[in-house]
Amino acid sequence: MGSVKSVRIGGLEFGGGAPVRVEGMLKTPLEDMDACLAELEALGEAGCELVRAAFPREDLRPNLRALAEKSSLPVMADIHFNYKHALAALDSGCGSIRINPGNMGGRDGLMEVLSAAKSLGAVIRIGSNGGSLSAKQLESCGNDKALALVAAVEEQLIPLVDAGFDDVIISAKSSSVPETVRANFLLAQRHPFPLHVGITEAGPGIDGAVKSAAGLGILLNQGIGDTMRVSLTGESVAEVDTAYAIQRALGIRQRGVELISCPCCGRRRIDVPELVRRVKSLLPKDLRDGTTVAVMGCEVNGPKEAAAADLGIAGTANGFVLFKKGKTVATGEAKDLERILEEFLIG
């Protein structure tokens, strides 16, 4: 579903029925260009479609320009505190910028940014954040953070639209799932612009992934969200992988292989965790997106439970069975498993 309007950044469409784009953010400071470019390459290989880079100082303009020129991905400059940084980023070749209405100052600077973006055909993302809400924004909304996030977006959105500029993406993020969900429902009801969604400061590891999946799953399943970033304390590639895993689980986009495996119980006849590890290591990199591989511990949760799998393996009383779309294609004893598995996966 998504937004009514769409915008283009670097030839890529956002909103208006386009796929939900997966974004990343450089965790490497712009001072270290070699590391930035290496991280960019890794993000691109993982499927990242737009990368955001923090641009905290104007003396980093040459680095930002080099990044925008060398990157195979569209680059969005992340701007805080000073509208002149936004002007410098646009002048450096960034096709999009993100500005935070909680700390960007007054209308005059915003109008200068609008003029520059309009002349260059650039996109402005207005991104409010729960940690950057001003006392005035909170007070005007009765300390209701979800409403304050919406009001902060509209504080900059309305002047842009009134001035005839609508190449915008809007976003409202908080580390609270309920606040973020409510704010984005309100924005989606009020405005036709593409929405960038995410749970900010979601945390590390499984906690961050679950928190992101909980919030983003609610929104995306309701058709809210045209572009997304998972914010984890960790490697940036893990954020992209998690974003695609969320979309895959919701049936929105199918990138990479979906691996189904049973949780294990006393019925299992094979070492499921070890077999999952082995199967993952053997999967060819050129498998088509959306391929489903199942690893099941026994015949109870075997070919029938995973009947839709393109390739599945399940333990049996005598060893194992391999199946495709629920139909048996091979059986064998445990001692033959490694050889037959390799034949099917890489042979």
Same domain, 50 and 190: yes
Residues 180 and 309 reside in one and the same domain: no
Strands 75-79 and 50-54, by their bridges, are parallel
Neighbours of 131 (CB within 10 A): 12
Confidence at residue 1, expressed as pLDDT on a 0 to 100 scale:
58
Alpha-carbon gap, residue 264 to 279, rounded angstroms: 16
d(CA 86, CA 96): 10
Q: Do 245 and 262 reside in the same domain of the chain?
A: no
Please report the pLDDT score of residue 157 as a whole number.
96
Q: Considering 250, 281, 296, which residue would you say is the last residue of a domain?
A: 250
Residues 156 and 215 in one domain: yes
Q: What is the mean pLDDT of each run of 10 residues along the chain (347 residues)?
A: 90 96 98 97 97 96 97 96 95 96 81 96 96 92 97 95 97 97 98 98 96 98 98 96 95 88 90 88 84 89 85 89 90 85 74
Q: Do residues 75 and 162 both lie within one domain?
A: yes
What's the pTM value of the predicted model, to 2 decimals? 0.90
The answer on 337 and 197 residing in a single domain is no
**Domain harbouring 291, CATH code:** 3.30.413.10
| CA gap 265, 218 in Å, rounded | 30
Q: With respect to residue 138, please indicate whether it lies within any of the assigned structural domains.
A: yes
pLDDT given for residue 102 in this prediction: 73
For residue 288, is it within any domain?
yes
Question: In this structure, are 268 and 198 located in the same domain?
Answer: no
Return d(Cα 149, Cα 138) in angstroms, integer. Answer: 9
Asked if residue 329 and residue 244 are part of one domain, the reply reads no
For residue 105, the domain's CATH number is 3.20.20.20
**22 and 128 share one domain:** yes
Domain assignment of residue 342, given as a range: 258-346
Nearest to 197 by CA among 177, 172, 175: 172
Question: Hey, CA dihedral for 49, 50, 51, 52, is it positive or negative?
Answer: negative
Q: Among 250, 276, 300, where does a domain finish?
A: 250
Q: How many domains does the chain have?
A: 2
